[in-house]
A and B are shown apart, each in its own frame.
Chain A
Amino acid sequence: MRHWLHREAVFYLFALPFAALTLLFGLWPIGLGIEVSFADSASALAAVPDFVGWANYASVLGDPAFLDSLWRTLLYTALAVAANVGFALFYALLLDSPLIGRMRTVAKLLVFLPVVTPEIAGYVVWRWLYDQSFGAVNAALALLGLPGFGGIASTSTALLAVLLAELWHHAGFYVVIFLANLAIVDRALLEAASIDGASGWQRLWYVVLPQLRPAITINVVYALIQFLKTFTVVVVMTKGGPNGLTNFVSYAAYRLFDEARYGEATAMATILFALVMLVATAAYVLAERGRA
């Protein structure tokens, strides 16, 4: 009996630091944040807040502007995840193929460089690249005789502009994850397939991609969580504009914070939180089910 206890206790011991960190720095602050969402904004951060139950949630969910923001966040997330993971997969496969010779190392570095560039600085640069009057993007397009790109000043192109800037910053990370997984693809299987006469595309589809499945899952779930919370790019580049087009939920909540509407701001954040939970779990469950 004692031996069994000792055996099991060891695992709890292993997991203890992880559990401690998760509880103290992960869940506790979130708990506090959720607590604030049940308080009236005027006293939300005071020592003795005035609790008003679900009033903040009712007011937030009843606001058409919020629902608009929610819808836009979902749309952007779907597009961003597809674009980032799709591009990353394509580019990783390209970099891994023997078609690229010595360029490989440099290319890997360059695609990963934006990931380690501080977000603030990176997005400030993109802000100015896109500028209608002083930006390099339009200057280059003009040089090539092409029509100008509306960038973040026009409602028809702002979403795309933000998506591209974020792709620049994030895609490299997903590329690296894919490359790491491509390195452990079973070469023996690939050789067997090519001996059996499978073409390049068939080898890709039937041998490589199935082995990349866990990596695709991780990347998609991670990207979903990442892009649902899209924040820094909006703060630096668009401040929710133009005309509210990029007013995603994280930023909308942050803006409310600025207006001292703390109760409603945290209610928004909690709703987003619930949404992320839902979407990420759904994606994960779907992926795991497909695995079998």
Chain B
Amino acid sequence: MVRGRMVPRRRWLAWLVGFMLLGGGVARAQELTIWHDLGDNGTKWFAAAGEAFAKTHPGVTLRAISYPTEQWFGRCIGAINTGTSPDLIYNNYERVIRVAAQTHKIMDMQPVLGGIADKGFLSADDLRVATYAGHMIILPVQRVQMAFGVRKSWLDKVGETPPVTWDDTLRVGRKFQTEHPDGGTAPVFAFALEAANPRDLIHMLDLFTFGAGLRHTLIDDAGAVVIDERQHAKVLEEFLKVFTTYKMVPPDTVNYSFNEMYQVIEGGRAGMFRVGDWNVGKWVKQGPMGDFVVGPWPQFFADRKSAVVIGGMRGVAVPENSPHKALAEQFAAFLLGKAAQQASLNFVGAAVRKDLDVSGLPPQSQQFARPSWNLIAYDFPESVHPWYPQLEASFHKKLMAAIASPPADWQAFIRQTAAEMRVEAKALAAKGG
């Protein structure tokens, strides 16, 4: 295991490797590597950004490698801890937090941000969701928005307009399931959701909760459990009923993660689903083929406006032991410039700048880029409480059990669960928090 105090026998090996790396680095004449998990679209974006960057930095090439998300964690942590880190890493804020927590080697981007003049489009909220333990661990480059999507032609077929309130949504959902607006005979469901992993199910719950205008799902900023508060309990109850009483999702949803959820959406088996700004590019050419409208999530309460949820920020982070640190910082700043941001919007569907050209984009993408709807930002409890993932996993287990054998009285179940969660939260906070 690598330690600060290395055994002398290994030291010469480390020197040798380091020397080789250094020599290799000089010989390779400025190639920046960036590790992300956005797949082919992300790689194309970085290629375009790299080309634009090379215009002002001749001789610099950019190499972007995408890993499946779980592998991305292990590789980044392992690489940074062994001094073989890439120049830059890119991911969602909450994922970079994990890497920062296990390596303590992610540089503070404050100085880099300070050196950028043109940054008025970044709000205080955006920057808050880039800061962890007092450091700005990412330079936020993409705002991740998640809207509520509905199949347009299906709405037309059943004679409805896009649902606004939860009651509207249920009514439309029922019509979808009984009237077969897709023209076929195979089963059709109101919603396409995911539930297999804790982050799958609770994320869906987050969307309905925040989308309804509430500010927390399981715990608030102080770590107090909120699920049995009147309005929170209502959303939770309705959410669970979608799986059980209303039967508005495929029964296999309990095993679905995002792969399967996408299959159901692209296979035209569901009428209402989450649409992320990054999905539009593909769903305009395949699957729903552009046949969907996007908007805020269903409104539950008259006193709260419904919203599109900002699922977070994606950004670029620079490891302290980045091989070409100065150049990496320059590239990071470059990603906030117009050229890179335009490429981001074109390839991935998301950006932070507000002055980009949206004319070439599909209508749904334009709505994301110039949002006229209400926006609400997710609260990232795990950035405040490191024990949150464990509590969330426990919550997930209880909800899954309830979905498997639905209780007669949902509100009683919610009160009971809240009490159990409180006990557990207290224990977790006391242990290490």
* Chain A residues closer than 8 Å to B77, beta-carbon distance: 45
Count, chain A residues at interface, CB 8 A: 38
- Residues of chain A within 8 A (CB-CB) of B196 are 238-241
Decide: A133 near B254, CB < 8 A? Known: A42-B432, A155-B404, A244-B397: no
User: Chain B 198-210, CB within 8 Å of chain A: the 1/0 string?
Assistant: 1100000000000
CB of A134 within 8 Å of the partner chain: yes
Query: A42–B101 contact, CB under 8 A?
Result: yes
Using CB atoms, name the residue of chain B closest to A158.
Answer: B255
A260 CB within 8 Å of chain B? yes
Chain B 49-76: CB-based contact to A (< 8 A → 1; otherwise 0) = 0000000000000000000001000000
Asked if residues B255 and A238 are in contact (CB atoms below 8 Å), the reply is yes
Chain A residues within 8 Å of B401, by CB: 243
Q: Are B251 and A153 in contact (CB under 8 A)?
A: yes
Chain B residues near A48 (CB-CB < 8 A): 3-4
B267 within 8 A of A: yes
B400 at the interface (CB under 8 A from A): yes
B181 to chain A minimum Cβ distance, whole angstroms, is 16
Please, what's the 1-or-0 string for B233-264, where 1 marks a CB less than 8 Å from any CB in chain A?
00000000000000000111011010010011
Q: Which residues of B contact A238 (CB under 8 A)?
A: 196, 255
Chain B binding surface SS class = helix
Residues of B within 8 A of A152 (CB): 252, 255
> In the complex, which of the residues B198, B255, B386, B403 has the most CB atoms of chain A within 10 Å of its own CB atom?
B255
Contact in complex: A46, B81 (CB < 8 Å) = yes
Contact among A49, A65, A237 for B255, CB-based, below 8 A: A237
Determine if A242 is an interface residue (Cβ-Cβ < 8 Å).
Answer: yes
Contact of A259 among B189, B255, B393, B397 (CB under 8 A): B393
Q: Is A258 an interface residue (CB 8 A)?
A: yes
Q: Are B187 and A133 in contact (CB under 8 A)?
A: yes
Residue from the list A47, A131, A133, A151 in contact with B4, Cβ < 8 A: A47
Total A-B contacts with CB atoms under 8 angstroms apart: 99
Pairwise interchain contact A47-B250, C-beta atoms closer than 8 A: no
CA distance A53 to B393 in the complex (A): 25
Complex Cα spacing A276 to B403, Å? 34
CB of A211 closer than 8 Å to a CB of B: no
Q: Specify which chain B residues have a CB less than 8 angstroms from the CB of A262 in the assembled complex.
A: 102
With an 8 Å Cβ cutoff, the count of chain B residues facing the other chain is 41
List residues of chain A with CB within 8 A of the CB of B260.
127
Output the least CB separation between A136 and chain B (Å): 12
**Pair A242/B250 contact, Cβ less than 8 Å:** no
| A35 at the binding interface (Cβ < 8 Å) | yes
Question: B74 — nearest CB in chain A belongs to which residue?
Answer: A257
Determine whether A255 belongs to the interface, using a CB cutoff of 8 Å to chain B: yes
Q: Which residues of chain A are within 8 angstroms of B390 by Cβ–Cβ distance?
A: 259, 261
Q: How far is the CA of A251 from the CA of B25 in the complex (A)?
A: 39
A43 at the interface (CB under 8 A from B): yes
Q: Which residues of B contact A241 (CB under 8 A)?
A: 196, 254-255, 400
Q: A146 within 8 Å of B by Cβ?
A: no
Assess the B98–A153 pair: CB atoms within 8 A. Answer: no
Binary contact readout A256-271 vs B (1 if CB under 8 angstroms, 0 otherwise): 0111111000000000
Q: Which of the residues B2, B199, B267, B403 comes within 8 Å of A134, measured between beta carbons? A: B267
Is B4 in contact with A132, judged by CB distance below 8 angstroms? no
Shortest CB–CB separation between residue A147 and chain B, in angstroms?
15
- How distant is B193 from chain A, measured CB to nearest CB, in Å? 14
B1 and A132 contact, CB distance less than 8 A:
no
Give the docked Cα–Cα distance between A152 and B186 (Å): 20
A261 contact set on B, CB distance < 8 A: 389-390
Q: Which of B187, B251, B257, B263 is packed against the most chain A CB atoms within 10 Å?
A: B251
With known contacts A44-B102, A47-B81, A133-B269, A242–B254 Cβ distance under 8 A = yes
Taking Cβ atoms with an 8 Å cutoff, the residues of B that contact A are 1-4, 70, 77-78, 81, 98, 101-104, 186-187, 189, 196-199, 250-252, 254-255, 257, 260, 263-264, 267, 269, 386, 389-390, 393, 397, 400-401, 403-404, 432
13 A–B contacts from the bound complex (CB under 8 Å): A44-B102, A45-B103, A47-B81, A133-B186, A134-B186, A134-B269, A152-B252, A238-B255, A239-B196, A240-B196, A241-B255, A243-B404, A255-B393
Interface, chain A (partner B; CB < 8 A): 32, 35, 40, 42-49, 65, 127-128, 130-134, 151-153, 155, 237-244, 255, 257-262
Q: Which 9 A-B pairs have the closest CB atoms?
A: A239-B196, A259-B389, A243-B404, A45-B102, A132-B251, A133-B187, A153-B252, A133-B250, A153-B251
Please give 17 more A-B residue pairs, beta carbons under 8 A apart, in addition to A134-B269, A260-B102.
A44-B102, A45-B78, A45-B102, A127-B255, A127-B260, A132-B250, A132-B251, A132-B252, A134-B187, A134-B250, A152-B255, A238-B196, A239-B257, A242-B255, A243-B404, A258-B197, A260-B389
